Amino acid sequence: MKRISIFNWLLVLSLFYFTACNKDDEEIGELEETFPEATAESHKSTLEQTGIDFTTELESMKDIESVNYVVTLLDYFDLDDPFDDDEEVMVNGRRSATYFLHDIKAFSLGKLTLKDLAKGRIAEGGDSIEEAFDSIKGTYSWNSSTSEWDYTEGGEKVIFEFPSEEGGTTNNAVFTIHSYSGVTISGNPLEENEDYTGDLPAELDADLVIDGTVVMEYGFDISYNTDGVPTSVSTTLSLSPYSLTYSLTNSTSEVTSGYKLQKGDSNIIAVNLGVSGNFDLDNIESSADDEDISGVVTAGEVSLQLYDIKFVADLSDVEGLVDELDAIEAKEESDDYEGAAEILETAMNDHLSFKVKYASKNEIIAIGVFEGVVVEETYTYWEWDDEAQDWVEYEAVDTWIEPDMVLQFGDDSKVSIEAYFEEGFEDLEQAIEDLLDSVK
């Protein structure tokens, strides 16, 4: 088996299972980690109920009232785009400012690169992102008689007043975009070929108020280093009673990112990733040329928390793992697949850890134990026989190794993940099916 296949497996495993860092981490940091003597079966009901609660929450989120208000606002934009042809609020013939607002949001969520955001400003003839925002400031009030937006110039905000219900005549909803600020950094990456020399977005806030009550808040804050590379990003979206946060930190020695969804103060799901190493650009390029991942990444930690159930994985020594895995190739070349599987198993258990825990109690439910598995697959192929003047069928066996993981519980019993979830989770399976049916 090629080593790249092993790393692909690790990547898939990490993306599926791991990383969360939230408020509970501070609380459980003072609690000693425990691993009570408990059977695999004793945890099933709690794990199943957690899954059911999550699917139920997802179902209820479809009916968040504040989302309906945002949809109503977009419907009014469909009826009349206030920026489309209104020369009073157009600068240099830019396209609709609704695209600008969409681009700003996409950038803050990591769906649009800074370069692409800046390109949009250049294509529209503007000098900077800040200039684009300044050009749309003012108050836009929905006129139910004409089905158009009435524009009033002035102020430091972009304000939309509209009925909260489709077909309404009273503008009881107010959506405000405000507090945009940018920073100009000489020599930032976007100045290459003099493409863009304007500001880089640093802060933006927005809120939606219905009948005097705030039902939605959104904002982002971004910091940069002297080269114009983001060093921290923080984005928050609150849709009462839910809040979604995203964070990113970036330095030459550590990169972290994470998402967290909460209902009030209660955690629903949190996902996080932390990687340490040498992320200097010259070092990354040098390591890439040498195909040496350990020259860049030295360690990593990932986890996922679903309510109180937390999956945690840690890769403590990338270089040590790579060094041990280097010995696999020689074993495979000599057809010693059992020996190769043993090396794989030892290397992963030496340098990787995986735990399932109750976060609030810092109590381990199970630990992951890795096993090296030899896989054989028989296949058929045909070759032309000149003497017989016909195709001859042959059988061959393809052999490789791959990692597997079993769960070990407090009573030292072990069970594969597939076998563990095969029985005892019927209610969760039904809940997932019901959720999928509801969104078709």
Nearest residue to 128 (alpha-carbon basis) of 165, 180, 171, 205? 180
* pLDDT tens digits for range 354-412: 999 999 999 999 999 999 999 999 999 999 999 888 999 999 999 999 999 999 999 99
> For residue 65, what pLDDT is reported?
80
Q: How far is CA 380 from CA 291, 347, 402, in A?
A: 35, 34, 22
Nearest residue to 170 (alpha-carbon basis) of 213, 217, 214, 210? 210
Residue ranges per structural domain of the chain: 1-63+307-440, 65-215
CA atoms within 13 A on the CB side of 276: 9
Torsion of CA 28, 29, 30, 33, to 10 degrees: 70
Helix/strand/coil (H/E/C) assignment for every residue in 365-415: EEEEEEEEEEEEEEEEEEEEECCCCEEEEEEEEEEEEEEEEEEEECCCCEE
Copy the structure tokens of residue 181.
């600020």
| Strand pairing category for 138-143 and 158-162 | parallel
Copy the structure tokens of residue 332.
């495979």
* pLDDT tens digits for range 32-86: 999 999 998 999 889 889 988 988 888 887 777 877 888 888 888 888 877 664 4
Task: Measure the CA–CA gap between 313 and 193, rounded to whole angstroms.
Answer: 43
**Angle of the 337-351 helix axis to the 318-333 helix axis, nearest 10:** 180
Task: Measure the CA–CA gap between 334 and 339, rounded to whole angstroms.
Answer: 10
Q: pTM value? A: 0.74
Secondary structure of residue 293 in the 3-state scheme = helix
Tell me which residue has tokens 């219905």. Answer: 210
* pLDDT tens digits for range 102-116: 555 555 455 665 455
> At 263, which amino acid appears?
K
> For residue 350, what pLDDT is reported?
93
pLDDT at 282 over 90: no
- For the beta carbon of residue 155, count every other beta carbon within 10 angstroms: 12
**Least confident stretch, 175-184, 240-249, 283-292, 326-335:** 283-292
Nearest residue to 198 (alpha-carbon basis) of 136, 252, 124, 89? 124
Are the C-beta atoms of residues 294 and 318 closer than 8 Å to each other? yes
Task: Measure the CA–CA gap between 343 and 9, rounded to whole angstroms.
Answer: 16
Copy the structure tokens of residue 405.
């993981």
Copy the structure tokens of residue 298.
């030295």
* pLDDT tens digits for range 195-250: 667 788 899 899 999 999 999 898 889 998 887 888 999 988 888 888 989 999 99
- For the beta carbon of residue 64, count every other beta carbon within 10 angstroms: 16
Strands (DSSP E) found in 36-165: 138-143, 148-152, 158-162
Nearest residue to 225 (alpha-carbon basis) of 197, 262, 188? 188
Task: Measure the CA–CA gap between 367 and 29, rounded to whole angstroms.
Answer: 19
> At 99, which amino acid appears?
Y
pLDDT (average), residues 314-341: 91
Report which of residues 88 and 295 the model is more confident about.
Answer: 295
> For residue 364, what pLDDT is reported?
94
User: Which residues, 6 or more positions from 1, have their beta carbon under 8 angstroms from its beta carbon?
Assistant: 328, 332, 340, 400, 401, 402
Task: Measure the CA–CA gap between 164 and 146, rounded to whole angstroms.
Answer: 17
* pLDDT tens digits for range 295-323: 888 999 999 999 999 999 999 888 899 88
User: Which residues, 6 or more positions from 191, have their beta carbon under 8 angstroms from its beta carbon?
Assistant: 197
The residues pairing with 177 across neighbouring beta strands, listed in sequence order, are 158, 206
pLDDT at 261 over 50: yes
> For residue 133, what pLDDT is reported?
83
Query: What are phi and psi for residue 39, nearest 5 degrees?
Result: -85, 165
| Strand pairing category for 148-152 and 309-315 | unpaired
Q: Which of 159-163, 289-293, 436-440 has the highest mean pLDDT?
A: 159-163
